[in-house]
Amino acid sequence: MAAEIVNSKDGLDEDVIDPAFALHRGGKMAVQATVPVRDAEELSLAYTPGVAKICSAIARQPELVADYTWKSQVVAVVTDGSAVLGLGDIGPEASLPVMEGKSILFKQFGGVDAFPVALDCRETDEIVETVARLAPSFGGVNLEDIAAPRCFEIEAKLKERLDVPVFHDDQHGTAIVTLAALRNAALLTGRPLGELRTVISGAGAAGFAIAKILVEAGIGDIVVCDRKGVVSRDRDDLTDVKRELAQFTNKEGRTGSLGSVMAGADVFIGVSGGTVPEEAVATLAKDSFVFAMANPNPEIHPDVASKYAAVVATGRSDYPNQINNVLAFPGVFAGALQVRATDITEGMKLAAAEALAAVVSEELSADCVIPSPFDERVAPAVTSAVAAAARAEGVARR
């Protein structure tokens, strides 16, 4: 596709040639009919009078909506535009290109239809009420790019109100892929997960979810740091979310800075941004793992991390072992929708991580502890594992 010339608005006099604008013109997705309407007979079946039979049947048996509409096959991708990628609070309209992008990734990588919903509201209860009123149209809700701590409250309240899966991808997608990569890194180096001392830099949405899933997976020694240092029970400046985090991490009661707790740690996981000094990286344990996932600039540059770590992963696509949420969320929702699950449980997330790790278990190397997003084995493996876990946990309706 030819590049498009876009007038610069940043104070420069010259025009900018940017193919991204050409690709995005007119949007990246459209609604497409799945049935033909070529003559009067087909019109009468697709719309009136034929459609009235379907409406009446659903009115009598509401569960039929999953069989005779798109509800069981479509996910709402919901945002308020308050924490968009690395751009921050840019508002609902500016978030739409990302929500469209997320929607096409659902389709491309999981065969799941998705619809972007950008909301012009910021109050937690207002967002919850709006999504709850929209929910009859969708088989699942993917929360996206909503700032913490509001994202935690919105997810929790929607899970209480709705009988369809609700999933905040910035939390759980990141956590699933991180656990999968960590499982394989431990397998590659012959170390049990339970013996790994882990430090997480970042106590926001992703950091919280990663810590939680690692505890569920059996990693008992986890310390999480925010900008002020270790999240510990004795701090009096913690938010409600960080107080909860302190209850299930940092069992040894460590205090101090990020650098101080990195000394001797087996795993560093970065979801915070900023830069970790090389001298702190050098204090990690022998054969450590560095997952520095800030984008575009990781907390520890891969070239620095590789001097000291046995396995290095980032959020970038130009280095090996990309921790990319697209490895998780399409298959997670595909599996949940396949069995018409009412929830996405911790067991389903663990099953997704195990299945994702297993995709490359026979070809492990320091540069391959996680599959490529374009590995065609990923979505079927995750879908199958999530569907089976949903049945095992009693949240499947078929």
Query: At what angle are helices 169-189 and 205-217 packed, to 10 degrees?
Result: 40
Examine the residue annotation and report whether 308 is marked as an active-site residue of this protein: no
Clarify whether 228 is annotated catalytic: no
pLDDT score for 250: 95
The residue assigned the tokens 């968009």 is 84
Amino acid identity of residue 270, one-letter, is G
**Looking at residue 14, what is its pLDDT?**
45
Q: Given this chain, do its domains 70-164 and 170-398 carry the same CATH topology?
A: yes
pLDDT tens digits along 62-113: 999 999 999 999 999 999 999 998 789 999 999 999 999 999 999 999 999 9
Average pLDDT over residues 215-224: 94
Beta-carbon-side half-sphere exposure of residue 199 (alpha carbons within 13 Å):
30
Instruction: Provide the CATH topology of domain 170-398.
Output: Rossmann fold (3.40.50)
For residue 175, is pLDDT > 90? yes
Give residue-wise pLDDT tens across range 345-398.
999 999 999 999 999 999 999 999 999 999 999 999 999 999 999 999 999 999
Q: What is the pLDDT of residue 2?
A: 46
pLDDT digits (tens, 9 = 90+) for 121-166: 999 999 999 999 999 999 999 999 999 899 999 999 999 999 999 9
Which segments are annotated as binding site for (S)-malate?
Answer: 295, 324
Cα–Cα distances (Å) from 161 to 38, 69, 149, 164, 218, in that order, read 41, 22, 19, 9, 30
Confidence of residue 16 (pLDDT cuts 50, 70, 90): low
What architecture is the 70-164 domain classified under in CATH? 3-Layer(aba) Sandwich (3.40)
Q: What is the mean pLDDT of residues 28-54?
A: 95
Query: Over 90: is that where the pLDDT of 181 sits?
Result: yes
Model pLDDT, residue 13: 40
Model pLDDT, residue 86: 77
Residue 169 has pLDDT above 60, yes or no: yes
Instruction: Determine the pLDDT at residue 273.
Output: 83
pLDDT for 296? 84
Q: Token pair for residue 137? A: 């149209």
pLDDT digits (tens, 9 = 90+) for 256-313: 999 999 999 999 999 998 899 999 999 999 999 999 999 889 999 999 999 999 999 9
Res 12 pLDDT > 60: no
Active-site residue (options: 47, 228, 251, 307):
47
Answer yes or no: pTM beyond 0.85.
yes
Tokens 């921790």 sit at which residue? 323
Parallel, antiparallel, or unpaired: how do β-strands 229-230 and 221-226 relate? antiparallel
Q: Which residue of the set 53, 68, 102, 228 is catalytic?
A: 102
Domain ranges of the chain: 70-164, 170-398
C-alpha distances in Å from residue 4, one per residue of 21, 23, 30, 79: 6, 9, 21, 28
Does residue 6 surpass a pLDDT of 80? no
Binding residue positions for a divalent metal cation: 144-145, 170
Give the C-alpha separation, 41 to 60, whole Å: 26
The Cα 145–Cα 100 span in angstroms is 13
Burial class (CB in 10 A: 0-12, 13-18, 19+), 288: buried
State the pLDDT at residue 11: 45
| Alpha carbons 264 and 198: distance in angstroms, whole number | 10
